[in-house]
Amino acid sequence: DGGITQSPKYLFRKEGQNVTLSCEQNLNHDAMYWYRQDPGQGLRLIYYSQIVNDFQKGDIAEGYSVSREKKESFPLTVTSAQKNPTAFYLCASSILNSRSGANVLTFGAGSRLTVL
Amino acid sequence: AQRVTQPEKLLSVFKGAPVELKCNYSYSGSPELFWYVQYSRQRLQLLLRHISRESIKGFTADLNKGETSFHLKKPFAQEEDSAMYYCALFIQGAQKLVFGQGTRLTINP
């Protein structure tokens, strides 16, 4: 079954703790993305990666970190420096193609993080 | 600045009525625009993209470069259209997708 798998689906964290969200894809996609979804604010880009061992900050990268050691994996760590970490986190992937119109994202089911 | 704006957070229409979800963008290059949809308890998924000029589930969207808009339209709304809709702009240089704030569409019976 091809697609993107995010885990865990629900996660609770105490203030001051780091937590890592997993994202794995078996679509052989080049690019992977992390978005944060908050009511009324849409999807905001945290980090993205176009190739293994390289990644770029998105619009709200502060308090987060990522790694891309393998093409199929792009874990996101929410650190204690993130001031408002309670949110729904979405991972996505896509083929990178300069041909216009090919840049379609496939999304995971999401991970809901709650900080107690 | 590269930005996508969806002015309506909530939109409610009756079944059978026309529906239009507004999307405006700000981009200096040639825009590549998409509509994504998230039905209840389902993953966010692509609805349509302007380059394809297609109609999906009765929805269409026309790129108007003069008005920098990409509004989503359907002539006759159905109850199953109730969902969260996001307009998105692909930034060519940075190779990333920027989303609007989203519009929650509710179709009343």
CB-based contact A100 B51, cutoff 8 Å: yes
Interchain CB contact of A88 with B (< 8 Å): no
pLDDT band at A81 (very low <50, low <70, confident <90, very high): confident
Q: Which residue has the tokens 């994996």?
A: A73
The H-or-E segment that residue A34 falls in is strand A31-38
pLDDT band at A116 (very low <50, low <70, confident <90, very high): confident
pLDDT band at A21 (very low <50, low <70, confident <90, very high): very high
Scan residues 64-83 of A and list those with Cβ closer than 8 Å to B: none
Residues A30-65: tens digit of each pLDDT = 999 999 999 888 899 999 999 999 999 999 999 999
Residues B44-82: tens digit of each pLDDT = 999 998 877 788 899 999 899 999 999 999 999 999 999
Q: What domains are defined for chain B? A: 3-108 (2.60.40.10)
Q: Which residue has the tokens 């159905």?
A: B78
- At B67, the amino acid letter reads E
- Give the one of B43, B86, B95 whose C-beta lies nearest to A109's C-beta: B43
**Residue A98 pLDDT > 60:** no
pLDDT higher at B46 or B95: B46
- Give the one of A41, A100, A105 whose C-beta lies nearest to B97's C-beta: A105
Question: What would the DSSP string read from start to end of chain A?
Answer: --SEEEE-SEEEE-TT--EEEEEEE-S--SEEEEEEEETTTEEEEEEEEEETTEEEE-TT-TTEEE--SBTTB--EEE-TT-S---EEEEEEEE---SSTT----EE---EEEEE-
- What is the percent of chain A with per-residue pLDDT over 90, rounded to a whole number? 76
- At B79, the amino acid letter reads E
Residues B9-48: tens digit of each pLDDT = 999 999 999 999 999 999 998 899 999 999 999 999 999 9
**Residue A10 pLDDT > 60:** yes
Q: Output the six-digit token pair for B45.
A: 């998924």
